Copies of this chain bind each other. A is one copy, B any other.
């Protein structure tokens, strides 16, 4: 007997029929003798509707009232799922955030979970019942409903698993696991059986979109074994675990990419102290996230070039800010026709020469590298967007990530 937390997102509970399917998945685990807590999101579309109502009521609205409104979505799902489970003969009861309680701080709209008291859920298990929990929501110390922000249900599930000391946290999604890269672009992409928290963190933040970054960080912190699997097919997914659980470590586990980057080149900037700070301060104040940065050594004229990337959505207001700054640079170029490609793998830490091999492969294909940045387990390069598929496929093959021919992903 194991203790398992299962999380189903909005599409998996999109209507009553789908909720019934979720109930069947849960029943299977119960029939196998497990203690099960289920965390669910709002039925797909519901949250957007509720957010729409709030915006219609007032463009700028009290986040406490917003939370009260949008938390209604998950409330509907937990009741319906409990009814479906009971109808199948599986004893179940629903818990709202405040009923668990899932205690959060009072940063409404983006609250952080501070504590989850496991007693009520454990009492529910003792009575032989499935606990059906509302994801995405909690309660503040002054008794008001809070929400964790978009995608917060993943975080709820992992936090509940940590509080219950669960054996596993299953996150059901519309994909069947974590792939070496996006199979829509690289047909030979392979589903990973296991991936480390660190790698998954890089993949999530690099756009793999399977799992919210925040929930992966939480799983890592508490050592929650987390599985990403399909809510529509009944087969194992990808387990996200500690490095110690992975025996045969590949050097590179996956290749991520980010499309929405914009590159800004400043040519001929005076290389004087404080210049970089003067450049980035207003962007930071305006919450523009700066991703990759590279600065050339100063020329004999005392001039330097700086290249950095931001999200392309931030480009228009960043352009305006840079113009207003009057930096006295020779030229500013903007380019949204770029893509960031990242090799990810805990093996990168221990194997030298991975970056060199990456550069060689790209060079052989005639792909120019515009910016490079590296972390302990990741090497990212910025290239012309036109070369995205070529770069991804070449790197995927050369780093030994391709699936066997007969397992080619069917697109």
* Chain B CB within 10 Å, residue with most, of A19, A82, A83, A99: A83
Report, as a range, how many residues of chain A touch the other chain.
35 or more
Q: How far is the CA of A72 from the CA of B50 in the complex (A)?
A: 11
Q: How far is the CA of A62 from the CA of B57 in the complex (A)?
A: 34
Nearest Cβ on chain B to A48's Cβ, whole angstroms: 14
Q: Is the CB of A87 within 8 A of B53?
A: no
Nearest Cβ on chain B to A236's Cβ, whole angstroms: 29
- Stretch from A90-98, A304-312, A350-358 contacting the other chain: A90-98
Interface status of A58 (Cβ within 8 A of chain B): yes
Interface status of A68 (Cβ within 8 A of chain B): yes
What are the interface flags for A57-70 relative to B under an 8 Å C-beta threshold, 1 for contact and 0 otherwise? 11001101111110
Nearest Cβ on chain B to A408's Cβ, whole angstroms: 40
- Stretch from A73-81, A149-157, A224-232, A254-262 contacting the other chain: A73-81
Interface status of A143 (Cβ within 8 A of chain B): yes
Q: Is the CB of A57 within 8 A of B16?
A: yes
Contacts of A5 in B (CB 8 A): none
With contact pairs A58-B87, A75-B71, A98-B98 given, residues A82 and B65 touching in the complex (Cβ less than 8 Å):
yes
Closest to A145 in B: B96
Contacting residue for A65 out of B64, B72, B86, CB 8 A: B86
Interface status of A54 (Cβ within 8 A of chain B): yes
Q: Is the CB of A62 within 8 A of B76?
A: no
Interface status of A84 (Cβ within 8 A of chain B): yes
Contacts of A263 in B (CB 8 A): none
Contacts of A50 in B (CB 8 A): 76
Nearest Cβ on chain B to A353's Cβ, whole angstroms: 57
Contacts of A53 in B (CB 8 A): 16, 76, 80
Q: Is the CB of B19 within 8 A of A57?
A: yes
A276-300: which have CB < 8 Å to B? Answer: none
- 28 A-B interface contacts by CB (under 8 A): A20-B57, A50-B76, A58-B87, A61-B83, A61-B87, A62-B83, A64-B94, A65-B79, A65-B80, A65-B82, A65-B83, A65-B86, A65-B93, A66-B79, A66-B83, A67-B79, A68-B75, A68-B79, A68-B94, A69-B79, A71-B75, A72-B72, A72-B75, A72-B76, A75-B75, A98-B98, A99-B143, A99-B144
Residues of A within 8 A of B (CB): 16, 19-20, 50, 53-54, 56-58, 61-62, 64-69, 71-73, 75-76, 78-80, 82-84, 86-87, 93-94, 96, 98-99, 143-145
